[in-house]
Amino acid sequence: MKKIVIFASGSGSNAEKIMQYFEGHPTSAVAAVLSNKSSAGVLAIAQQFQIPTLVFSREDLNNDTVLNFLQTNKPDLIVLAGFLWMFPKSIINEFPGKIVNIHPALLPAYGGKGMYGLNVHRAVVADGAKQTGITIHYVDEHYDEGATIFQDAITLLGDETPEEVAAKVLKLEHAHFARVIDEILNN
């Protein structure tokens, strides 16, 4: 069974879709959910799926505590689903080509430090962009610069609020992220 470890910082809607998708899957399973916030909604969701969780601090992420956890659990894929901290080089080097992230825009546009959540959608609306979408990409040592795996776009009408754009983009995330993870693991 191929093991997925999810990192998330928030409510966990993408993580929940991934857990649902892989529940009872014949070849892959979510083995653990890690979060940097003890109050993150994703932890309660993981408990509902009876998936082990770990809460860690920034110090834990950078002093090899998280790396040691990952080395012990040997994930086939590490999935960042709304995880906002930069991954340390030690983890990236230990798991090359095995860490993926989803970004709520068509990278390279609207990527980089500070470009997450509504910050992205506000910038898209402020620029009058005609389309936006999602990018699933590999994680490297720079924010949102790893190789693109998958993109999908939506056309914008020009009168949407950032919140309306966010809702449309979230539908794309939910429609594609788990399926693309499956393809990465099983192709």
Query: For residue 187, what pLDDT is reported?
Result: 83
Residue ranges per structural domain of the chain: 2-186
Torsional sign, CA 67, 70, 72, 77: negative
Distance CA 181, CA 175 (A): 12
* pTM summary value: 0.96
- 10-residue stretch averages of pLDDT, the chain, 187 residues long: 96 96 97 97 97 97 96 97 92 97 97 94 97 97 95 96 97 98 94
CATH code for the part of the protein at 2-186: 3.40.50.170
Q: Which residues are catalytic?
A: 103
Contact 169, 11 (CB under 8 A): no
pLDDT tens per residue across span 79-107: 999 998 999 999 999 999 999 999 999 99
Query: For residue 45, what pLDDT is reported?
Result: 98
Query: For residue 84, what pLDDT is reported?
Result: 87
Query: For residue 169, what pLDDT is reported?
Result: 97
Distance CA 125, CA 139 (A): 26
* Structure tokens, 115: 């470009």
* Residue 35 main-chain phi, psi, to 5 deg: -140, 150
Strands (E), the chain: 2-7, 28-35, 53-55, 77-80, 99-103, 131-138, 148-155
